[in-house]
Structures are given as structure tokens and as C-alpha cells.
Amino acid sequence: MNDDQLLRYSRHLLLSDIDVDGQQALLDAHVMIIGLGGLGSPVALYLAAAGVGKLSLVDDDHVEISNLQRQIAHQQAAVGRSKVESAATSCQQLNADVVVEVYPFRATNEWLNHHLSGVSLVVDCSDNAAVRYAINARCVAHAIPWVSGAAIGFSGQVAVFDPRDSLSPCYGCLYPNLNDQQLSCAEAGVLSPLVGVIGSMQALEALRLISPFGSPQAGWLATYDAKAGQWQRWQLSKRSNCPHCNPV
């Protein structure tokens, strides 16, 4: 780290669980963020601010006026612009040292298979069931940890999956048959700060995976009820008949 970086990340360096080695791990990391909407916005901004060295931003959507209620990586002037380009601009304005790659594409199985090389971890901020199952399948195949998040209405959740651990459950163990109707904010609505809460937790878990501190959260699901202001945690079990991580 140079002098500017020592000053920029000084509040991390004061944390004994992170220190210089942990911050260097962040600087050396490559995180892929899939979905640059309500969840992906705070994830991208916090990871850029924290000094993650390289971010790959993946989303085939464009900024719409209805996004601005919650998608804080995008400004009003960005309406009509590619979400990945808009988010990349925001990240680089926050931290010019971060390398940001933009991919205005949908994350399919085939696409992920060709673009996960060198990626430290994936953060899923999409709202599409097929994309989530593709992320799960490719992360299992490539043994890459990933952080899942979802928010709809007044409820949100965060889960960490780590296929490097053969005993850890995968997304398919938790949701064998998810459909897009269960994911759509366009139909059900979503409270704007809720996506900030969940996205911030996703960013925190991403940092924990890169620069380990505290207790590992792989195999746990955390749910948040914004109306009650309450968190709950659930330990997940690996399904012996899961077609995603235990194919027969």
C-alpha cells in the first residue's frame, strides 16, 4: 500500500481483525456483482469504498425513473443509461483506484462459465430466478463462494454459500423451485431503505469472506422484517438429494 492508501483505509487498519494484511487481501480481491439495482447499488459502492481491487459489474438493464427511489448508485441524469456504466461511474468517483469492468449482459450459465476465472467471490443482487440458479450452478462448479440477497415489500434476507466446504448447503438446497413471481419488486413494491440494509449486509459478508473476521456465516440465512425491526437467523442443511450440489 502507498501513503494515500494507508490514509484512505486507515479506519480499517485500526481494526485488529483486518489490519494491513486484511486490507491488502481486499486490494487483491476480484468481486463480481450481478445486478446493479437496489441491492447492487450499496454493494458496489461499499466494496469500492472498502478498497476491493477489482469489481466486475453485470446487468443487462438500463436506468429508469422508477429505479431512483432506491437504487442509489444511479443519478437522475443516468436515466436511460446502462446500469453497469452508471454504477461504474459512481464507484470510480468514490475510489479511482478500483478497477471496474462492465458487462451489460445477462448472467447465463454459459456466460458465467467463461467469466468466473480469477473471481474471488460473487455477490448476487439479481431479481431473476434463472440467474440465481445459474450463479449457484457455476459457483458450485468453480468452487467460488457467493453472497445472496433479496428484498421485497418490507422483508429481506441474506445468505452466504461456500462450495469450497463440501458440507455447506447450496442455494438449491434452500430453494429447490423458486420462480420469478416470488422475486419481483415491480409487482409487490419495496421499501427504499430496506434494500440499503440488505445490500449493506451483503457487502459486509463479502468483506468477511475476503478478509475473514468474526464467525463464518456460510450455511446461514438471515431474514429481516422492516415492520418489526427484527432479524432472525436460520441454520441451513445440505440436502442429500439436491440436484445442484449432490447430483445423482
Q: What type of residue sits at position 40?
A: G
| 134-161 burial: b if 16+ Cβ within 10 Å, else e | bbbbbbbeeebbbbbbbbbeebbbbbbb
pLDDT band at 244 (very low <50, low <70, confident <90, very high): confident
Pick from 99, 17, 83: nearest CA to 51: 99
CB atoms within 10 A of CB 240: 8
Region 139-160: what's the mean pLDDT? 96
**Statement: residue 146 has pLDDT above 70:** yes
> What span, in angstroms and rounded, lies between the C-alpha atoms of 152 and 188?
7
Average pLDDT, the chain: 94
Average pLDDT on 92-99 reads: 97
pLDDT digits (tens, 9 = 90+) for 173-225: 999 887 765 555 666 789 999 999 999 999 999 999 999 898 889 999 999 99
Query: Domains (ranges, CATH) in the chain?
Result: 3-235 (3.40.50.720)
Q: Which one has a higher pLDDT value, 245 or 76? A: 76
Percent of the chain surpassing pLDDT 70? 96
pLDDT of residue 184: 59
Condensed to tens digits (0 to 9), the pLDDT of residues 18-76 reads: 999 999 999 999 999 999 999 999 999 999 999 999 999 999 999 999 999 999 999 99
Cβ within 8 Å of residue 20, ≥6 positions away: 1, 13
Q: Is 169 exposed, middle or buried (0-12, 13-18, 19+ CB in 10 A)?
A: buried
**According to the model, what pLDDT value does residue 245 have?**
86
Q: With DSSP H G I counted as helix, E B as strand and the rest as coil, what are the percentages for the chain, rounded to 5?
A: 40, 20, 40
* Distance from the first to the final alpha carbon of the chain: 48
Percent of the chain with pLDDT over 90: 85
Q: What angle do CA 100, 101, 103 make, to 5 degrees?
A: 140
For residue 186, give the C-alpha cell.
415491480
110 contact partners, CB below 8 Å, separation of at least 6: none
Helix, strand, or coil (residue 59): coil
Contact 216, 145 (CB under 8 A): no
Q: 121 and 210 in contact (C-beta within 8 Å)?
A: yes
Three-state DSSP state, 140: helix
Distance CA 163, CA 165 (A): 5
Average pLDDT over residues 164-171: 91
pLDDT of residue 243: 85
Which pLDDT tens digit goes with each residue over 6-17?
999 999 999 999
DSSP bridge pairs for 124: 34, 148
pLDDT of residue 221: 96
